[in-house]
Amino acid sequence: MDATRAMIHPVPPPWLRQGAYGFIYWLAFLLVLEPGNLMRASEMGAHLVLSHETARMLGAALIGAMTTPAMLLLGDRFPISGQHRLRNLLFHGLGVAGFALGLILLSCVLAAWAFSHTWLPTLGEIYWQVADNWLLLVYALIGQAAVARLLSRVRTTDDDAPSTLASTAARPLSHVTTKVRGRQVQVALDQVDWLETQGNYLALHVGDATYLIRQTITAFEVRLDPRQFARVHRRAMVCLHGIQDLKPLTNGDAELRLRTGQVVRVSRSYRKQLAASIEQIKVIADSSRSF
């Protein structure tokens, strides 16, 4: 049970970890970029105050870090793979371009408040910032997303390893513990109709109720009873005993209808194995009735 709680309630929370990755990334980026900018500004006669420059760099790193969860969400929502990869790549380009423009506008407004003591920057200041920094920020955002995703996957792999090792003794898992409105609730897995990934979480559907746990579907699958649950999609699993029927589709996929009325998409890569599992359950049920 302690191992299960550690999986469900990670410390620190994911948004804080993602923000920390982003802050370190942007601070390192600014430390590499700014010395040359400061030297050129000093040569042009600009009066630089150390405290102002330090505050500006820390503030810029913090603002950049705020985009990290959004960039990861963009990658999860529009993966650059599969049949829609070209469309999703366009969404990525529009998202990165928009984030870069938003960062410039926000930094101009904050600089006007902090250093110029005005409410809004001038259009000329915004224009020159966009002309000088927009493309650079686009490249920086792409690098930020790649680094944050890599670190998140490394951390997820590290978090999953103890649970995978412990699964030999604890498998099959029968209950999980999660929080609902600040109260710990135990969810019996034999009551779960189906489950799906939602961002960095797994959503367990029990009738009309939904419970979220912090876990990857791959790591969770190895702790489940394969006679009870089956994978139907890279993002979904269903309870085999709750299946009502399986309807093939023309493109090779299938639609699975549960006894609750819920319809779940079955990808072609899991369709044959699912059909075999359903048939095995029917054979076992017929054998039980014959006795």
Cβ–Cβ under 8 Å, residues 243 and 276:
no
Per-residue pLDDT of the chain (291 residues; tens, 9 = 90+): 334 444 444 445 666 777 787 888 888 877 777 655 545 545 544 555 556 667 777 878 888 888 877 877 777 777 776 557 788 888 888 888 888 898 888 888 887 887 677 888 888 888 888 888 888 888 888 887 777 667 655 554 444 444 443 444 456 788 898 988 888 889 999 999 999 999 889 999 999 899 999 888 988 998 898 889 999 998 999 999 899 888 888 888 899 999 889 999 999 888 888 888 888 877 666 665 555
- Which of 254, 253, 260 lies closest to 239 in space, CA to CA? 260
Q: What is the pLDDT of residue 195?
A: 94
Domain 175-290's class? Answer: mainly beta
Paired tokens of 199: 């961002």
- Report pLDDT for 163: 41
How, if at all, do strands 254-258 and 183-188 pair? unpaired
Q: How far apart are CA 188 and CA 206, in angstroms?
A: 9
pLDDT of residue 164: 42
Residues 147-182 as b or e (16 or more Cβ within 10 Å = b): bbbebbeeebeebbeebeebbeeeeebeebbbeeee
Give the pLDDT of residue 290.
56
The domain ranges of the chain are 2-162, 175-290
* pLDDT of amino acid 158: 47
Q: d(Cα 236, Cα 249) in Å, to the nearest integer? A: 18
